[in-house]
Structure 1
Amino acid sequence: MSVQYDDLKDLVKNENQIMIDNIPDEYLTDTLKRLRGYADVVIKPTSTEEVSKILKWAYEREVPVTPRGAGTNLVGSTVPDHGGIVLDLSLMNHILELDYETLTATIEAGVLLQDFQQYVEEKGLFYPPDPGEKTASIGGNISTNAGGMRAVKYGVTRDYVMGLEIVLADGRILNVGSKNIKDSSGLSLKNLIVGSEGTLAIITKCILKLIPKPEISISVVVPFDSLESGLESVLTIIKENANPTAIEFVERKVIKLGEAFLKLSFPYPNAQAYIILTFDGKKDEVSANLSRIKEVVLHKSALNFIILDDKKLSENVWKIRSVLVKAVEAVSEQEPVDIVVPINKTLEFIKYVNKLEKETEMQMVSFGHAGDGNVHLCVVRGNRVESEWIKEKHENMAKLYSKAYELGGITSGEHGIGLTKKEYFLNETKNINLELMRKIKSDFDEKHILNSHISYNL
């Protein structure tokens, strides 16, 4: 059947919302810009009703639909690998309600994380999920169940999604979840949508849980003479019940890339590795926790305990931590990995990474969320020619994922599966799990028009 994409112009308010042919490259790729798909049309809806009409139109004609928000995805989830429609939700970016009585906010899916966090904090409230990419959309965060640096204390995006308005592949609109704190009323359709990477439905609105803004937040840099000694201290820190907001680990060689990228300085440059901690809450509580953890880590093998009570220094430390992937990418092409292992296996996994790096002579840069076992790696191309890079990268990635599964880990903690991790996910996931996922996909989207090129859909 020949598809007349001009018909879509009748479904939106004005023609400026549609691009047919000559699609800009930004809509055909993700933030790394290495994978490239193709699309027949880009549509930027401004309402749930427009999304509904577009999906109904696409479903009747079996036209593939690839949803996207801010386009910050790292694994190819936003690459329109099968052509058809790219559905850009960035114009649906309004904060619709702030409900002080239920401590919730209702927003559209295209609202950017940084804008939402700033808005609620100005109102004395707090939205804890804090993934590194602050320019991501909230809808994208929900679609990948983004975690971030504060997950060790506050949890991940799923823990703050109370309700969703979604549009099914055939255009039907429904609401899942609500402002109610408890819900034991049937299967949780809301939790199926969270983390589904746009494969089950299009998220148009979100009801998000908020908490009161902490009175104070203080960060600390703890330098070590090796990454191993730093990671060995993490379980000790957790067991002290000091309730840190963030526990990050990073090697000095990675910090140097971040310093060069931003032209900023990181404290205690003679260390080989660092643990970065944050504590928030009441002032007296934070002060007591800082004292307790300082004593514990200095008793272990920490070289120092640097409290970042200077606001500018604290901002610089977190800026450097937040740009590490971009800093590595600025030096060499790299493959970002966000493997998760049980927290007591983090050190064992990192030791394996270092061993594999020496054996293969392929640089593997390690950092991540030590408090929840989420290891971020940059597998670095260096000066390899294309054929060598593709072959060796594939071999080493397969070994990394296999080791993670051996330790009880999983493929992705917050980036999602997308296109780049699909092979490893499928290889390491039991057939019965995949079978159930595929059945759920078919029940939501019988014709498989929504992001069906990624993850478990093949």
Structure 2
Amino acid sequence: MEEVIYNKVTPQLIQEFKKIIPGKVHEKEEINEDYFHDEMPIYGKGIPEVVIEATNTEDIAAIVKLCFENNIPVIPRGAGTGLTGAAVALHGGVLIDMSKMNKILDYDMENFVVRVEPGVLLNTLAEDAKNQGLLYPPDPGEKFATLGGNVSTNAGGMRAVKYGCTRDYVRAMTVVLPTGEIIHLGASVSKTSTGYSLIHLMIGSEGTLGIITELTLKVIPAPKETISLIVPFENLKDCIGAVPKIFMAGLKPQALEFMEKEIVLSSERYLGKNVFPKEVEGVNIGAYLLITFDGDRMDLLEELSEQAAEVVLEEGAVDVLVADTPVKKKDAWEARSTFLEAIEAETKLLDECDVVVPVNQIPTYLSFVKSLEDQYDFAIKSFGHAGDGNLHIYACANEMEEEEFKRQVAEFMDIIYKKAAECGGLISGEHGIGSGKMEYLAAFAGETSMRLMKGIKEVFDPKMILNPGKICYKL
């Protein structure tokens, strides 16, 4: 493809934008610096020339059509909680803030779907669905991300082990294409064999193929009861080694998380409360499993918990603590949910990866990663979704120069991504590629797959204006 050359946003174009969405167009010093980066600023910053607060599908289409005609980059953005630089204006242009399109439109109780705008926060839908006696199963750690962002990265989360990822709950969507055309994908049905699945191509595309302006999402009847287990182990190897045994025993946890002691200590310092035991009967604890079961009867959950306790104790657990009250469950999962915030609060330089490997390869993979720590000047912290093999590995430093940190981390990431591939895994389970992981994707996917991905991008976005420089097309 020929070199892509973008035009600047002219004063005349800005006036056209203001005619379409009066009072929602911001430029120059009106633009908040929060728009310059996402939650992982190590991947760089980008300054949009214009920020427009989206209001509805038709207005977005009109804005995008003008940008297409004038070769202006367009970047859709939700809450900005991404971790790969995906919602950053690397080439200037127009950033469309989708967060104000935040209405829950309606529930269809007969077909068990809910229709929402893309700026609705995950936490907002979770609470609203709960009030309807329903559950929206996807449960990414960042509860204040937008649903549009979740769909754009195919976010997974802690309940994926039982219920699947965001992809499994998207029934339909409305999308504005890079040309300004509006299309409707999917329907309120549970199966389809109707041509190429464009809706599944859009899911996980990180705003590079289209701008999602409405979603129809599957919901399910909410389970009436939950029970959680905190399971301390002396070391990480035994902790992870117990995970396959839980599944082999026929148990089906709603969530199954692992965490090292250091990350737990960071979280508890951040929250100002102690939740997890650090020593049990003279044994120093090095790692933990956090397991939740859900269902409609507490007696059955207690039975499941007893079976799980027998399994993990046989595999080396030091103890099994039952969180069966609302306060205990809240404390345990609040600690887990704040891991990233806790790391950020204590760390000046931060990078991360979210590889996914087969569950039986987790111990091998994590042992390999930990063996590298002495080779670098940064600390390595890890936690993740033990039930589905999605691991969050953080490189953390406070005393290093940024350029040296980046150099060492690039080498480290290259090594551990290659090891993930050797273990039969993939380089991202839920965070996506954005701009920060493009080189690793190219090395992992290979020439043919990258050619196909680039070809898809060219078909959807012939002028390369939509979220350029992300996933597969480095400009």
Q: TM-score, normalised by structure 2?
A: 0.94
Report how far residue 118 of structure 1 moved: 0.4
Kindly indicate whether residue 283 of structure 2 is the aligned counterpart of residue 267 of structure 1: no
- Distance in 2 (alpha carbons) for counterparts of 1:236 and 1:126: 28
Residues 426 and 455 of structure 1 are in contact (CA less than 8 Å); yes or no, is this contact kept in structure 2? no
Task: Decide which of 434, 454, 458 is 2:470's aligned counterpart.
Answer: 454
How far apart are residue 426 of structure 1 and its match? 1.4
The secondary structure found in structure 1 opposite 2:344 is helix
Asked if 2 retains the 8 angstrom alpha-carbon contact of 1:5 and 1:41, the reply is no
SS of the counterpart of 2:274? coil
Q: 1:7 aligns with which of 2, 8, 15?
A: 15
Question: CA distance change for structure 1 residues 33 and 386 in 2, over 3 Å: closer, same or farther?
Answer: closer
For 2:335, what is the secondary structure of its paired residue?
A: helix
- Within the candidate set 340, 344, 348, 1:329 is matched to 344
Looking at structure 1, the residues matched to 46 and 231 of structure 2 have their Cα atoms a distance apart, in angstroms, of 44
- Displacement over 6 Å in runs of 4+: none
Q: Which residue in the other structure is 2:315 paired with?
A: 300
2:173 equivalent to 1:157: no
**Aligned counterpart, 1:20:** 27
Task: Pick from 263, 270, 291 the counterpart of residue 277 of structure 1.
Answer: 291
Gaps of 5+ in 2: 1-6, 280-284
Give distance in 2, aligned partners of 1:450 and 1:435.
Answer: 18
2:428 aligns with: 412
* Structure 1 unmatched runs, 5+: none
- Contact 1:146–1:414 (CA<8 Å) still a contact in 2? yes
Q: Report the CA distance between 1:5 and its aligned residue.
A: 3.1
Q: Deviations over 1:408-433 (max 9, x none)?
A: 11111111111111111112211111
Q: In structure 2, the residue corresponding to 1:340 is in which secondary structure?
A: coil
- Asked if 2 retains the 8 angstrom alpha-carbon contact of 1:343 and 1:372, the reply is yes
Choose from 279, 288, 297 the match for 2:303. 288
Task: Classify the secondary structure of the residue corresponding to 2:472.
Answer: helix
CA distance in 2, matches of 1:376, 1:382: 20
Choose which of 132, 149, 172 in structure 2 pairs with 1:140: 149
Q: CA deviation at 1:381?
A: 2.0
Kindly indicate whether the alpha-carbon contact (under 8 Å) linking 1:11 and 1:50 is maintained by their aligned counterparts in 2.
Answer: no
Q: Which moved more, 1:311-320 or 1:28-37?
A: 28-37
Question: Is the Cα–Cα contact under 8 Å of residues 18 and 41 in structure 1 kept in the other structure?
Answer: yes
What do the CA deviations read for 1:18-75 (whole angstroms, capped 9, x no partner)? 1022222111111234421011100012100001101101000110011101111111
Distance 1:455 1:180 in 2: 30
User: In 2, Cα distance between the equivalents of 1:403 and 1:351?
Assistant: 11
Q: Which residue does 2:4 correspond to in 1?
A: none
Question: 1:10/1:19 Cα in 2 relative to 1: closer, same or farther (>3 Å)?
Answer: closer
Partner of 1:203: 212
Q: Does 1:374 align with 2:390?
A: yes
Answer yes or no: is the 8 Å Cα contact 1:64–1:451 preserved in 2: yes
1:85 aligns with 2:120: no
What letter matches 1:314 in structure 2? K
C-alpha contact 2:355 2:428 (8 A) present in aligned 1: yes
Which of 390, 403, 407 lines up with 2:419 in the alignment?
403
Matching residue's letter, 2:27: I
1:317 aligns with 2:328: no
Distance in 2 between the 1:115 and 1:10 partners? 30
1:422: which partner in 2?
Answer: 438
Say whether the 8 Å CA contact 2:356–2:390 is kept in structure 1.
yes
Partner of 1:353: helix, strand, or coil? helix
Report the CA distance between 1:9 and its aligned residue: 3.3
Partner of 2:282: none
User: Aligned equivalents of 1:111 and 1:12: distance in 2?
Assistant: 23
Distance in 2 (alpha carbons) for counterparts of 1:127 and 1:159: 11
The alignment status of 1:391 with 2:399, answered yes or no, reads: no
> Which letter does structure 1 place at the counterpart of 2:17?
K
Does the Cα contact within 8 Å between 1:11 and 1:53 map onto a contact in 2?
A: no
Kindly indicate whether the alpha-carbon contact (under 8 Å) linking 1:340 and 1:374 is maintained by their aligned counterparts in 2.
yes
**What's the offset of the Cα at 1:203?**
0.2
What is the rounded CA distance, in whole Å, between the counterparts of 2:67 and 2:446 in structure 1? 32
- 100-109 or 301-310, which moves further after superposition? 301-310
Could you say what the CA RMSD is over the residues aligned between the two structures, in angstroms?
1.3
Deviation per CA, 1:306-358: give whole Å up to 9, x if none: 11013212211111111112211221221121111111111111000110113
Q: Is the 8 A contact 1:342 1:408 kept in 2?
A: yes
Which one of 168, 174, 185 corresponds to residue 176 of structure 1?
185
Q: Are the counterparts in 1 of residues 40 and 351 from structure 2 also a CA contact under 8 Å?
A: no
> Which secondary structure state, in structure 2, belongs to the residue aligned with residue 174 of structure 1?
strand
Deviation at 1:10, TM superposition (A): 4.2
Deviations 1:198-227 (A, max 9, x none): 000000000000000001011110000001
Give yes or no for the alignment of 1:131 onto 2:179: no
Query: Quick check: 1:325–1:378 contact (8 Å CA) kept in 2?
Result: no
| Separation in structure 2 between the aligned mates of residue 450 and residue 103 of structure 1, nearest angstrom | 33
1:439 is aligned, of 455, 468, 473, to: 455
1:212-223 mapped onto 2 (5 Å cutoff): 212-223=221-232
The CA distance in 1 between the partners of 2:242 and 2:189, in whole Å, is 39
- How far is 1:163 from its partner? 0.6
Counting matched residue pairs gives 457
- Code of the aligned partner of 1:113: L
Contact 2:226–2:292 (CA<8 Å) still a contact in 1? yes
How far off is 1:189 after superposition? 0.5
- Over residues 368-397 of structure 1, what are the superposed CA-to-partner deviations in whole Å (9 max), with x where a residue is unaligned? 000111010111123112232121111111
Aligned counterpart, 2:373: 357
Give deviations 1:178-206, integer Å, cap 9, x for gaps. 00111011111000000000000000000
What amino acid sits opposite 1:311 in the alignment?
A: P
Report matched runs for 1:110-121 at 5 Å: 110-121=119-130
Point out the more displaced range, 302-311 or 4-13: 4-13
Residue of structure 1 equivalent to 2:3: none
Partner of 1:76: 85
TM-score under structure 1 length normalisation: 0.97
Counterpart-to-counterpart distance in 2, 1:70 and 1:124? 27
CA distance in 2, matches of 1:180, 1:328: 41
